[in-house]
Chains A and B, each alone.
Chain A
Amino acid sequence: MTTLAKPRLRFSLDTVSNYAVIIAFAVVVVIFSLTADGFLTGSNLMNLISNKVVLLAIIALGMTIVIGAGGIDLSVGVSIDLSSMIFIMMIAAGYAGFFAIMGGLAAAFCVGLANAILINKLKINPFLATLGVLFIGQSIQRLSTQGGVPIYLTRAEYAAPFDAIARTNLAGVPAPIIVMILCIIAVYLALHRSVFGRYVAALGAQAEVARYSGIRVAFNLSVVFIACAVLSGITGILLSSTVRSYVPFAGDAFLLDAIGATFIGTAISAERRPSVIGTLLGVLLLAVMRNGLLLIGWNFFWQQVGIGVLVFLVLGLSFGLKKRSE
């Protein structure tokens, strides 16, 4: 036997740090299975996925692309809301469901395009550019709804297009879940199995180097921000079909959870890079926490504290145990 064959002990705190999220997820699931009645029942898990996971997952996928490219998008709420608003307004005006969906997605596309122009042409950093768009989007919503009056379309005459989206089943799987799965596959292929994905990774790691390597930075960044906006737009349409209404500023609630889920997801890769799998794990962790805490009887306020503490601990484990790279 040569000395080379001697296995080295690979167990170290550094390796453990890469599994912090997975460990936390497992622990949370086990604890809730033991303490929360009805946590592991099929109906609860279905409710968990369709109510807590679907919408957040699609937005977080968009956020994963943007953060992967080294940017951030604070305007996802605007994409969600404007898409939802145009969709509902077109349904109310009597357009067919298909055109209303296209209208909503076009609105979201415009938000992404605005972000792309601000970032590429005016050289504003993504945080500020999307912050500005967020403010402007809030004004647009106020102006078109007399200050923020929701639009409810609950009467039966409007039900058909909404039910076609929110209440159809394909082989027992509700349509929103199918949309989510399609989005997951699309983003996974784009980010992890395509040239575009390599460009995104290069932009996120070293934008300058990417530019000198001949990558079309402006074009790829535009695609990134538009993709994120359109994914958020899809969420807006799913959201308003489920509740058959448009509530101004409803999308803002998703922003911080989407950023949180994406960054929690970075903890599973050794380089701390965003990935589709990681983001989905982050979304599931947040959703399971919300659902489990609700089942064991914590009210909404304490749920927020609990989630904050959990995220803090997971990130602390993940980043704190990691070896200093300097």
Chain B
Amino acid sequence: MSALSNVKGPKSTRAGSKTLAKLAIRLGAFVAFAGILVYFAMTARGFTSPYNLMTVVEQSAILGLLAFGMTIVFAGTGTDVQRGGIDLSLAANAGLCAAVYAVMMREGYGNGLAIPAALITGMVVGLLNGIAVVSLRIIPLLGTLAVMNIAAGLELTLTENTVVSVSTPLMQVIAFGKFMGISTLAWCLIVVSMLLVWVMHFHRIGMRVYAVGGHHEAARAAGIDTGRYIYGAYIFAGFLAGVTSILIVSRLSSSTPGTGLMLLPILAAALLGTVFSRRFIPTIGGTLLAALFIGFLANGFQLLGISSYWVAGVQGALILLVVAVTSFAKNN
């Protein structure tokens, strides 16, 4: 991993003990991840079987894709949650898109109309966030909270709080299909994360998004239309919610109430992801690792027969531990 970090970024010439300490902390996150994997591999029977590993990747796909949306919003608006940006509406948005898709399929519109409708719904909700945060200058925590209420309410009115079951050949392909031994859901995660790594970390669009989030005034002074990039971040997060909603409906063969409850795991994944980055900023790769980490943790617990009641608590303790270590490292 240290070789990778050498390749990835130009090393500062002032690299002193501070950098070393940071490197140790950063590797610490990887070592902790690897250590937990090794522990599960040794103690939990069947953990390392290809089938199980693939299941975890599939289960992490939905969380990962939504967390990517949150990551991009964080990147474009800064991770200070109260003043900076956040998208509380993301999970409710995915629920609304899933409801739109499932209800349109039930009414017989077909994939050709239902999929674009779901994607457009997601982007419209993202646009609303953009209007609230950029044009009306409402605090993001609050603006997206109002949008979350609207999205969650619309989802409930569409589905009347019931399970809307649908089944189509396309959904069968998404839920059960395989290509080169890897299932469709896992492919979605792999392809989307590769695309996003390219856009966010190697393309100028991503660089500018990070510039806007890193220092708003400096970015504006440098001639970046900051508002447009923040709009873009929210709309793209909404688009990802639309894409994910189709995966959710396929996986469950239905639109099910309760997608909005994913908000906290999404936040956890996006925030936990920052410890996998060199400067403790939200990155696509970090979020991917964090989503997989959360997935492996839940899976390992299940295989070891530990009550699922512990999962939330351990996730919480883990977030606290990781963030405490990170902030300790930052202050040094």
Contact A124 B324 (CB under 8 A): yes
Give Cα distance in the complex from A263 to B138, angstroms.
Answer: 10
Q: Which A residue sits closest to B326, measured CB to CB?
A: A124
Pairwise interchain contact B156-A304, C-beta atoms closer than 8 A? yes
In the assembled complex, the Cα of A140 lies from the Cα of B136 at a distance in Å of 41
By a CB distance below 8 angstroms, the chain B residues around A309 are 146, 150
- Tell me whether chain A's interface is mostly helix, strand or loop, or mixed: helix
Q: Closest approach, in angstroms, between the C-beta of A224 and any C-beta of chain B?
A: 14
Q: Is there an interface contact between A122 and B324, defined as CB atoms closer than 8 Å?
A: yes
Please, what's the 1-or-0 string for B116-158, where 1 marks a CB less than 8 Å from any CB in chain A? Answer: 0000000000001000100111110111011111111110110
Say yes or no for B224: interface residue by CB 8 A criterion. Answer: no
Cross-chain contact A70 with B161 (CB below 8 angstroms): no
Contact with B along A139-156 (1 / 0, CB 8 A): 110110001000000000
Check A161 for interface membership: any CB of B closer than 8 A. Answer: no
Q: Which residues of B contact A308 (CB under 8 A)?
A: 146-153
Residues on A with beta carbons closer than 8 Å to the beta carbon of B153: 301-308
The 8 A CB mask of B46-85 against A (1 = contact, 0 = none) is 0000000000000000000000000000000000111000
Instruction: Answer whether A304 and B313 are a contact pair too, CB < 8 Å, given A123-B331, A131-B319, A315-B136.
Output: no
The proximity string for B residues 175-217 relative to A, scoring 1 for CB distances below 8 Å and 0 otherwise, is 0000000000000000000000000000000000000000000
Contact of A133 among B145, B310, B316 (CB under 8 A): B316
Taking CB atoms, residues of chain B closer than 8 Å to A123 are 324, 327-328, 331
Distance in angstroms between the alpha carbons of A262 and B311 in the assembled complex: 32
Q: How far is the CB of A292 from chain B (nearest CB, A)?
A: 16
Nearest opposing residue in chain B for A122, CB measure: B324
Contact check, B316 vs A260: say whether CB atoms are below 8 A apart: no
The yes or no answer to B309 lying at the interface (CB within 8 A) is yes
Binds A, one of B3-11, B106-114, B236-244, B263-271: B263-271
Instruction: For A128, give its contact among B156, B157, B315, B323 (CB under 8 Å).
Output: B323
Binds B, one of A52-60, A228-236, A316-324: A316-324
Size class of the A contact interface (CB-based, 8 Å): 35 or more
Nearest CB to that of A147 among chain B residues?
B309
Residues of B10-40 contacting chain A, CB below 8 A = none
Q: Is A134 an interface residue (CB 8 A)?
A: yes
Q: Which chain A residues numbered 74 to 121 have a C-beta less than 8 Å away from chain B?
A: 118
A137 CB, min distance to chain B CBs, angstroms? 8
CA distance A319 to B310 in the complex (A): 42
Q: Report if A132-B149 is in contact (Cβ < 8 Å); known contacts: A123-B327, A263-B142.
A: no
Question: Does B304 lie at the interface of the complex (its beta carbon under 8 Å from any beta carbon of A)?
Answer: no
Task: Say yes or no: A322-B312 contact (C-beta < 8 A), given A143-B307, A302-B153, A308-B149.
Answer: no
Report whether B319 and A305 are in contact in the complex, using a CB–CB cutoff of 8 Å: no
* A72: Cβ under 8 A from any B Cβ: yes
Query: With A123-B324, A136-B312, A139-B314 in contact, is A128–B132 under 8 Å at CB?
Result: no
Is B160 an interface residue when CB atoms closer than 8 A count as contact? yes
Q: Which of A70, A118, A127 contacts B320 (CB 8 A)?
A: A118
The residue on A at minimum CB distance from B137 is: A319
Given contacts A315-B143, A320-B136, contact A136 B316 (CB under 8 A): yes
Task: List 6 A-B residue pairs with CB atoms under 8 Å apart, sorted by A's residue number.
Answer: A70-B82, A72-B141, A118-B324, A122-B320, A125-B327, A304-B153
Given A147-B309, A256-B148, A320-B137: 16 more A-B contacts, CB < 8 Å: A127-B81, A128-B320, A131-B267, A131-B271, A135-B316, A135-B319, A139-B314, A139-B316, A143-B310, A301-B157, A304-B153, A305-B149, A305-B150, A311-B146, A312-B147, A319-B138
Q: Which 4 A-B pairs have the closest CB atoms?
A: A135-B316, A139-B313, A308-B149, A304-B153
